[in-house]
A and B are shown apart, each in its own frame.
Chain A
Amino acid sequence: MNGSRLNPNPSKKAPGATLFDRLPGWVAWVPRVLLAAVFLAAALPKILDPADFALAVFRYQMLPHSLVNLMALLLPWVEAVAAVALLAPLRCRDAAITLMTGMLAVFTAAIAFNLWRGVDISCGCFSVNPEVGHIGALSLLRNAGLLLLCAWAWLHERASAPIPLHTHPGSTAKA
């Protein structure tokens, strides 16, 4: 991968990294496990019942009608794949965090927009039942908390990233 191409010693951690480099290794797993659990819990009911999730997407009244089913069929799998990639021993964690952050940003914007225009609908976040989990300020707060977890996980990824060659101490390579 990139790191091993750029860095002669990819196992070496970034020197000078402060807080996140000094924390014990398991601390990095706290946001990863929490985010993965939340995204898997969100994905499962949608994967099991795509028709009801399509109705939840439709009720947001934000997508062109031709894209509603496409979104209902693909989005839960993006959530599930990102959750698994965040826990898997692959170098895809940064990509998983990126996807999670992007999805959370879109979900938060959609909820805020519907709250602003007074549309009272169920969130469709962890259940596809139209009678439960209506959107509200709590949904926004929950998403803000999850975005903070994404930032926490991202900081750990950057702290444990191999040093690129041009920033490595003693390197003569030009940036």
Chain B
Amino acid sequence: MKVSRAPFFPPMASWLGWGARVLLLLVIAAALGAACNLLRSNSLSWLGEWDRYIEAQAFREHFALASAASVQAMIRDKTHLLLDARPYEDYEAGHIETALPLPVNDPSDSWGTRSILTPADALLIYCSGPECDDAIMLARKLREQGMTNITLFVGGWTEWTHFRQDNDA
């Protein structure tokens, strides 16, 4: 007798039932997620305010903030030591003038940047842009190590390149 077997993909008729079961699980998950968030004492807002998250966090943690124009002044007046918190490859591909690399996630410090820092230094830290938090994470680490004069350039490399293009034009 010729035998048949269940196909790897179910026939069209059972797709509706399969889709309904997937939808059912999603509805159960959404209901549980909503109920849990409503019952939680520190519930999370459904629409987060992430557009200026890094700036808000820096403000909350009492880090000074710098604009691109003030970064230009810092470079001109040599008032701050600039630190690039991005990975070495990004730094080597392009960085703000006079900045030294100190990737937040690379403990090797192969450029020896960390060894020249002293608590008296005024530091300006940046990373790739307003959505990257490498700069603020590096700032926290350096503050724990005794650095007190730390400024963040939240706009980072993205804002700096735009600023330079606008000013060179």
Contact = CB atoms under 8 A, between A and B. Distances in A.
Q: Do A and B bind each other?
A: yes
Contacts of A161: 6, 10
Contacts of A130: 137
A158 B6 contact: yes
Interface residues of A, number: 54
Interface residues of B, number: 49
A95 B24 contact: yes
Given A16-B5, A175-B11, A74 B30 contact: yes
A9 B7 CA distance: 17
B30 A169 contact: no
B25 interface: yes
Given A120-B87, A175-B11, A134 B4 contact: no
Given A74-B30, A99-B22, A120-B87, A158 B8 contact: yes
Contact of B17 (A1, A69, A80, A118): A1
Contacts of A3: 14
A159 B137 contact: no
A69 B45 contact: yes
A134 B134 CA distance: 13
Interface string A27-69: 0000000000000000000010011001000110100011011
A65 B29 contact: no
B47 interface: yes
Contact of A2 (B17, B90, B103, B105): B17
Contact of B25 (A81, A163, A169): A81
Contacts of A98: 18, 22
Nearest to A61: B131
B3 A15 contact: yes
Contacts of B5: 14-17, 163, 167
A164 B11 contact: yes
Nearest to A170: B1
B113 interface: no
A65 B11 contact: no
Interface of B: 1-8, 10-11, 13-14, 16-18, 21-22, 24-26, 28-30, 32-34, 36-37, 40, 42, 44-51, 53, 87, 89-90, 103, 105, 131-134, 137
Interface of A: 1-3, 6, 14-17, 47, 50-51, 54, 58-59, 61, 65-66, 68-70, 72-74, 76-78, 80-82, 85, 91-92, 94-96, 98-99, 118-120, 130, 134, 155, 158-159, 161-164, 166-169, 175
